[in-house]
A and B are shown apart, each in its own frame.
Chain A
C-alpha cells in the first residue's frame, strides 16, 4: 500500500518534469504567429487558409501554422520572455517597442512603405438600435444619463486606443480654439464627464462588447470599428457612429529576428508578411471589417466614409508621449479616476 503511494508520488513529480523537455521541431514549413486577440478570426478563418493554398501552389509544400492569440500586452511580454513566435502581430506600437527594446524585433521594423503597420481601423461609438440617446459625437457620451462602456486601459490595449481617441479629439479641438495653445481644462472636462458615465471597465475589449451586446449593459460602447463590423457579421448588428473627429488605429506586425533565425524559416515568414500586406491579403482584412492599408484593396462597401477629421497617434506626439500624458502617475486619466472617487465617497 505504502509503496503504491510512493510510486504515485514519483509519478506526480515526474509528469511536469517530463513535460518540460518538449522537443523543438524545426521545419522550414512551420510558422508560429503571436498575435493580439482581435485578429483571431481574420487570421484563422481568412488569411491563413488563403496563404496556405497559395504557398502550396507555389512551392508544392504544406505550411503548418501555430497560432497564439492573447491580449496585445500579454503577447508582447510572452515573446519578450521567450515565446518563439516568428511573427508578432500587436495592437499598437507601444507593445512593439517592448520587443524592440528587448532586441527581439529590429529597430527599423517601421521603415517599410507601410511603416510596419498591418491594419487600420477607427475608434467609433456603438449605440442601441434607433439611437434613443441621440449619440453622435464624443460630447454626447458625457451627457448625464448616458451609460458608457469601454474596457480598463490598465489591462486592455483597445481601451487605450479608445481613451486616446477621446483625448485626441478634445485636444485637437482645444488646440484649434486656442490658436495653437491648447487649454487642457476643456480636455479634462470632457474626459472626466465621460469617465463618470462609465458603468463598467471590463478587462478586455471583447468582454466589453459582450457586455454591451449580450447583457444589454449601457447605451454606448467605445470600440474599434472592426470589432463592431465583425459583430454585425456574426450576430445581432450593432449600429454605430463615427465621431466627427476620431483616431486612426494603426496596428503593427513585424518579424521576430531570433525566432526566424532559429527556425530557419525566414523566406516563409517574409512571404507571409508580404501576403498580409498585398492587395489580396488586405482585401481579406477588409472583409473582416478592417480598413486596408494597401490602397489597391477596397474597403468593404458597407463601411461609412471616413470622418471629417482623422488624426493619428503621431499627430498627438507619438505613443510614448501620450502614454505618459494620460496613464503616467500624474497622467490625465489617472488623476481623473482619483477625482471621481472623491466626489462619490469611497
Chain B
C-alpha cells in the first residue's frame, strides 16, 4: 500500500474499514469463543480436570483425534494425487470434475450421514456382504472415518492444486535431463515445493473433522466408549443437562483447532508459501 499517495479522506476510510472488519471478527468469532472458554473455566481447575478425565469424555476425545488422524492420512495421499491428476493430465470434463470436488461442502452433513447409511448400512447390499465377513462399517468406527473423508474431501485438493499450477516445470525437466527418474524427481523436486500446501489442507480438514457432528451422528451408532465422538458426547451432555461437562470438552476441541491453525500460519510464513495470507 502506497500510504503517501492516499488522500486524507481515503485514509480515514481505510481506518474505518479496518476497524469495522476487526470489530466484526471480534463479535462474530472471538466473543462467542471467549464466552465458551470462560464458562468452561469458571468453576476452577479441579472441576475442569475432573470433567476432562471422565472416562466417557476422555474416550470421546481420543476417538475424535484418532479418527480425524486416520482421515487426514488418507486425504493427504488421495487429495494430492487428485490435484496432480487434475493439473497434469488431460481429464475429460475437467470443469465438471472441478465442480464435483466442491460438492461435499454443499451437502448438509445430516444428508451425508444418511447417504452413507443407505449405501453401506447393515441392510444395504455392501453392508450385507461386509457383514458376512464380520466387518461392520456403519454403526462402527470405520463409518466415522468414512463420514469424515466425505465432508473434508475438498480441503487437500484445493490447497495443493493452485501450488501445483504455479510450479515451474523447468526444474522438474532439469531434474529429468540430469537423469532423475520420475519418482526421484517427485521426491526431490516436486514434493518439497508441495508439502506446505499438503500440510495446510491436512490441517484444515483435521480441524473440520474435530467438530463434525451431523454426518457422524447418523453413522456412528452413538455407543458410549465405542463410537461416541467428542461432538456427540458434547451434544449428549447438553441434552442431559450437564452443561459444564459439555463446555470442557468443547474448549479442548477449540484449543486444539486454534493451535493447529496457528501452527499452519507460522509454517506458511516460514516456508514462504503464500495463499490468501
Q: Which residues of A contact B (CB under 8 A)?
A: 2-3, 5-6, 9-10, 12-13, 71, 73-74, 77, 98, 147, 152-156, 198-203, 211, 215-217, 327, 334, 337-338, 340-341, 344, 346
Q: What is the number of residues of chain B that contact chain A, defined by CB distance less than 8 Å?
A: 28
13 contacts between A and B (CB under 8 A): A2-B17, A13-B20, A73-B241, A154-B235, A155-B236, A155-B240, A198-B223, A200-B221, A200-B222, A211-B117, A215-B118, A337-B225, A338-B55
The proximity string for B residues 138-158 relative to A, scoring 1 for CB distances below 8 Å and 0 otherwise, is 010000000000000000000
| Chain B residues with CB below 8 A from A98, complex form | 241
Instruction: Find out whether the CB atom of B121 lies under 8 angstroms from the CB atom of A215.
Output: yes
For B13, the chain A residues whose CB sits under 8 A away are: 2-3, 6
Docked-complex contact B240 and A201, CB < 8 angstroms? no
A-B contacts besides A77-B241, A154-B237, A215-B121, 9 pairs, CB < 8 Å: A10-B20, A154-B236, A199-B139, A203-B222, A215-B123, A217-B123, A337-B224, A340-B225, A341-B225
A199 touches B221 (CB 8 A): yes
CA distance A156 to B226 in the complex (A): 19
The complex places the Cα of A143 from the Cα of B179 at a distance, in Å, of: 68
Q: How far is the CA of A346 from the CA of B117 in the complex (A)?
A: 22
B176 interface residue (CB < 8 Å to A): no
A152 touches B222 (CB 8 A): yes
Complex alpha-carbon distance, A155 and B213, angstroms: 14
Q: Does B211 touch A at the CB level, under 8 Å? A: no
| Contact between chains at B20 and A6 (CB < 8 Å) | yes
Chain A residues near B122: list those with CB within 8 A: 147, 199, 217
Q: How far is the CA of A295 from the CA of B13 in the complex (A)?
A: 74
What string of 1s and 0s marks CB contacts (under 8 Å) between B72-88 and chain A?
00000000000000000
In the bound complex, what is the Cα–Cα distance between A10 and B117 (angstroms)?
Answer: 44
Assess the B121–A217 pair: CB atoms within 8 A: yes
How far is A11 from B224 in the complex, measured between Cα atoms in Å? 45
Residues B222 and A202 in contact, CB atoms below 8 Å apart: yes
Give B226's nearest chain A residue, CB to CB: A341
List CB contacts (< 8 Å) of B190-235 with chain A: 217, 221-226, 235
Question: Would you list the 10 A-B pairs with minimal beta carbon distance, nearest first?
Answer: A154-B236, A341-B225, A155-B239, A201-B222, A337-B224, A200-B221, A216-B123, A200-B139, A152-B222, A341-B226
Q: Least Cβ distance of B248 to chain A in Å?
A: 15
Output the nearest chain B residue to A216 by Cβ-Cβ distance.
B123
Chain A residues with CB below 8 A from B55, complex form? 338
Q: Which residues of A contact B221 (CB under 8 A)?
A: 199-201
Whether B129 is near chain A, meaning CB under 8 Å from some CB there, is no
Q: B16 interface residue, CB < 8 Å from A? A: yes
Docked Cα-Cα span, A154 to B231, in Å, equals 13
A153 CB, min distance to chain B CBs, angstroms: 8
> CB < 8 Å: which of A9, A202, A217, A340 contacts B226?
A340
**Contact (Cβ within 8 A) B17 A5:** yes
Instruction: Let me know if B24 is at the binding interface, CB within 8 A.
Output: yes
Whether the Cβ atoms of B16 and A6 lie closer than 8 Å is yes
Closest B residue to A323 by beta carbon equals B240
Q: Would you call B20 and A9 a contact (CB within 8 A)?
A: yes
| B 52-71 binary contact with A (CB < 8 Å = 1; else 0) | 00010001000000000000
C-alpha gap A220/B20 in the complex (Å): 57
Contact indicator B239/A73 (Cβ below 8 Å)? yes
Which B residues touch A3, using CB under 8 A? 13
Residues of chain B within 8 A of A9, CB atoms compared: 17, 20-21, 24
Least Cβ–Cβ distance between B17 and chain A, in angstroms = 6
Distance of A6 Cα from B23 Cα, bound (Å) = 13
Q: Indicate if the CB atoms of A344 and B226 lie closer than 8 Å.
A: yes
B16, B222, B224: the one contacting A341 at CB < 8 Å is B224
A152 touches B236 (CB 8 A): yes
